[in-house]
Amino acid sequence: MEEQYKATVDAPVMEPGHTFATVTEKISAIVLTRPASNGWFIGFGIAFLMTMMMLYAIGYLVLKGIGIWGVTIPIGWGFAIVNFVWWIGIGHAGTLISAILLLLRQSWRNSINRFAEAMTLFAVACAGIFPAIHVGRPWLAYWLFPYPSTMGVWPQFRSPLMWDVFAVSTYATISALFWFIGLIPDMATLRDRATHPTARIIYGMLSLGWRGSARHWHRYETAYLLLAGLATPLVLSVHTVVSFDFAIGIVPGWHTTIFPPYFVAGAIYSGFAMVLMLAIPIRKIYGLEDFITELHLQNAAKVMLATGLIVAYGYGIEAFMGWYSGDRYDAFTIWNRLHGPYAVPYWALLICNIFIPQVLWIRKLRTSPVALFFISGVILIGMWLERFIIVVVSLHRDFLTSSWGMYYPTRWDWMTYIGTIGMFLAAMFLFLRLLPAISIFEMRTLLPEAEVKE
Amino acid sequence: MKRERIYGMMAEFDSAQSLIDAAKRTHEAGYNKIDAYSPFPIEGLAEEIGFYHDEVPLVVLIGGIIGGCTGYLMQYWMSAVDYPLNIGGKPYHSWPAFIVITFEMTILFAGISAVFGMLALNGLPMPYHPVFNVPRFSSASKDRFFLIVFSSDKKYDPVGTRNFLEALGPRSISEVPS
């Protein structure tokens, strides 16, 4: 009986035996003393080359125009929008971990929130590229913002695309602020630990002169908590507004009320998959298994399982409504997904997002880093396919057979997409070497010696 | 105001518990101008040094209200007053369509107020501060806890205050030059 009980007790949030000093040293050493390995240079080099490829593809796009892409009427929204939704969705897990889990007092978030927030920022940066280059004349993308222009006109605020501009730019700003405010006390730690004079000056400037006064901590915690409270409805609103871009249109396959919750769940689903794909190698390479334990992997797996089931429910309701609404166009959309020219990606989507992740019910796989890494990869592919199905397959056959068409991405589409993955990884590589990947001060609060009686 | 040559007397402690006990006793002994420094937030410590009024929530509330009003009025003025444009026969003042941006602007302004309000109230950024003159203070961002009695305190006295802090059982005591 006791044996059985032991087997079901979860791993600890942090391995025992750590003190304030060891936590501080271990995390800050990655930045301050550990030399950059060959592996880091190779990884960063590849990611950097991919970023250059992206810049080349974008440069050529600016030169030649949107015709180099596969987009054509009726499919006016191709890879650009697919990738935009995919990246912005990935970002959502970072905010969920840093804000929502903070409000829910889930202390296990403390060791993964920093790099999850970094992931959010970089993912939003990748996402932001696509709408800007998709507008056709990217140098005029600033027309989206309401500024007093000589033309005298203003943006069209009744359009969900305009809502999206505000939602995504607010999200990017708040995520950056949340990340920066979390870094301030750790910057002070690095300032005090760094031996290189340049490092001391840079970290010193970034720490803003933080000295850990009790008054400062009090206001800091209030601001941090309020920011979490503000970021929580914000993150839910962002993907809701993204889903409005589709749901407010009348195209069959877009015009559904299930979209907002199903988009938010899908966003968190793919975001946690990305968190795991980053956390698993990082904890291994930098020896952070003490801080990112089996518990974190398991919890992330459980979140993926739960959100994956919500997504599955969304697919189910879409299919059900296709039949139940009695609308022949809706019914055709479902039939077309299952049997049309894009049936292969749709079935692949069902396998990646619904069937394979069910193995997470098995405890052994939830705690196995290797298995989780691959399942997460499958989910990320599946979620990309989901957005492809929503954007492309809905558009390619709508009401009139005369306006049907097909979409074939060109190499420029692929170069831009793969290039953003490179940019994301390059930013991640730099982040790991330049900033503490785990929040040091929040890890200190998890130690037993941090507890006080009044 | 005359600048004091000595900024205060600083005591170093080993643990969060000893800092909070020391802060309590110092405050009870009648010292009002004191501060405590720790490598992580300690619940209840601010109250022990006599800090009760946190204005951050008020700043955030004001920021949020300003943001919400700005968001809504901007859309109303642009769509219904400055350049009314008939789009799909929708009313110029389509208030339900304006809610999303109003919400986003509320969050944006409130969030910016939270961060910059907190920094401003804390007097940050502040590149120089006398406490950094104490070499041991560099461990305040690692594993040590500090309590300071400012020399501007009415009860401050170089010998008496040192003796008082000595009695609290610190690891070390240093005078902080300003």
pLDDT 10s digit of each residue in chain B, 178 long? Answer: 455 588 888 889 888 888 888 888 888 888 888 889 999 888 888 888 877 888 899 999 999 999 999 999 999 999 999 989 888 888 999 999 999 999 999 999 999 999 999 999 998 888 888 888 888 888 888 888 998 888 888 888 888 888 888 888 888 888 888 7
Contact B54 A166 (CB under 8 A): no
Stretch 361-420 of chain A: residues touching chain B, C-beta under 8 Å = none
Residues A426, A48: contact at Cβ < 8 Å?
yes
Could you give the angle at which helices A214-247 and B95-121 cross, rounded to 10 degrees?
160
Chain A / chain B CB contacts < 8 angstroms? 207
Closest Cα to residue A239, out of A271, A211, A261, A208? A261
pLDDT at residue number B85: 87
Domain spans of chain B, in order of start: 6-39+143-177, 56-121
Stretch 253-272 of chain A: residues touching chain B, C-beta under 8 Å = none
pLDDT at residue number A9: 55
Determine the residue of chain A that is closest to B71 in CA distance.
A166
B43-52 contact pairs (CB < 8 A, 24+)? B43/A452, B44/A452, B44/A454, B44/B20, B45/A214, B45/A217, B45/B19, B45/B20, B46/A214, B46/A215, B46/A217, B46/A218, B48/A214, B48/B20, B48/B23, B48/B24, B49/A214, B49/A215, B49/B23, B51/A214, B51/A215, B51/A218
Question: Which whole number is the average pLDDT over A351-355?
Answer: 93
Q: With contacts defined as CB-CB under 8 Å, which chain B residues touch A209?
A: 124-129
Q: What percent of chain A has pLDDT over 90?
A: 56
pLDDT at residue number A454: 64
CA angle in degrees (0–180, nearest 5) for A412-A413-A419:
85
Confidence band, pLDDT 50/70/90 cuts, at residue A238: very high
Give the side-chain half-sphere CA count within 13 A for A198: 1
Q: What percent of chain A has pLDDT over 70?
A: 98
Confidence band, pLDDT 50/70/90 cuts, at residue A222: very high
Residues 6+ apart with CB under 8 A from A16: none
Q: Around Cβ A343, how many Cβ atoms within 10 Å?
A: 13
Residues B102, B75: contact at Cβ < 8 Å?
yes
Whether residue A250 is predicted with pLDDT greater than 50 in this model: the reply is yes
SS3 A49: helix
Contact A180 B36 (CB under 8 A): no
Residues 6+ apart with CB under 8 A from A182: A98, A113, A114, A117, A224, A439, A442
Whether residue A425 is predicted with pLDDT greater than 60 in this model: the reply is yes
Residue A258 to chain B, least CA–CA distance (Å):
18
Instruction: Using a CB–CB cutoff of 8 Å, tell me whether A441 touches chain B.
Output: yes
For the beta sheet containing B145-150, the strands, ordered from the edge strand earlier in sequence to the opposite edge, are B34-37, B145-150, B6-13, B172-177
Closest Cα to residue A297, out of A317, A273, A319? A273
- What does the alpha-carbon distance between residue A130 and residue A146 come to, in Å, rounded to a whole number? 20
CATH architecture of B6-39+143-177: 2-Layer Sandwich (3.30)
Determine the residue of chain B that is closest to A231 in CA distance.
B107
Question: Which whole number is the average pLDDT over A287-310?
Answer: 89
Whether residue A3 is predicted with pLDDT greater than 50 in this model: the reply is no
Whether residue A162 is predicted with pLDDT greater than 50 in this model: the reply is yes
Among partner residues A153, A162, A222, which is closest to B54 by beta-carbon distance?
A: A222
pLDDT at residue number B1: 45
pLDDT in tens, A120-156: 999 999 999 999 999 888 898 888 888 888 888 899 8
Determine the residue of chain A that is closest to B139 in CA distance.
A192
Q: Which two tokens stand for residue A218?
A: 């009090």
pLDDT in tens, A78-129: 899 999 999 999 998 888 888 888 888 888 888 888 889 999 999 999 999 9
Whether residue A5 is predicted with pLDDT greater than 50 in this model: the reply is no
Q: With contacts defined as CB-CB under 8 Å, which chain B residues touch A178?
A: 111
Confidence band, pLDDT 50/70/90 cuts, at residue A180: very high
Contact B20 A452 (CB under 8 A): yes
pLDDT at residue number B49: 83
Residue B178 to chain A, least CA–CA distance (Å):
15
pTM: 0.90
Instruction: Using a CB–CB cutoff of 8 Å, tell me whether A214 touches chain B.
Output: yes
Closest Cα to residue A394, out of A254, A258, A257? A254
The ipTM (two decimal places) reads: 0.91
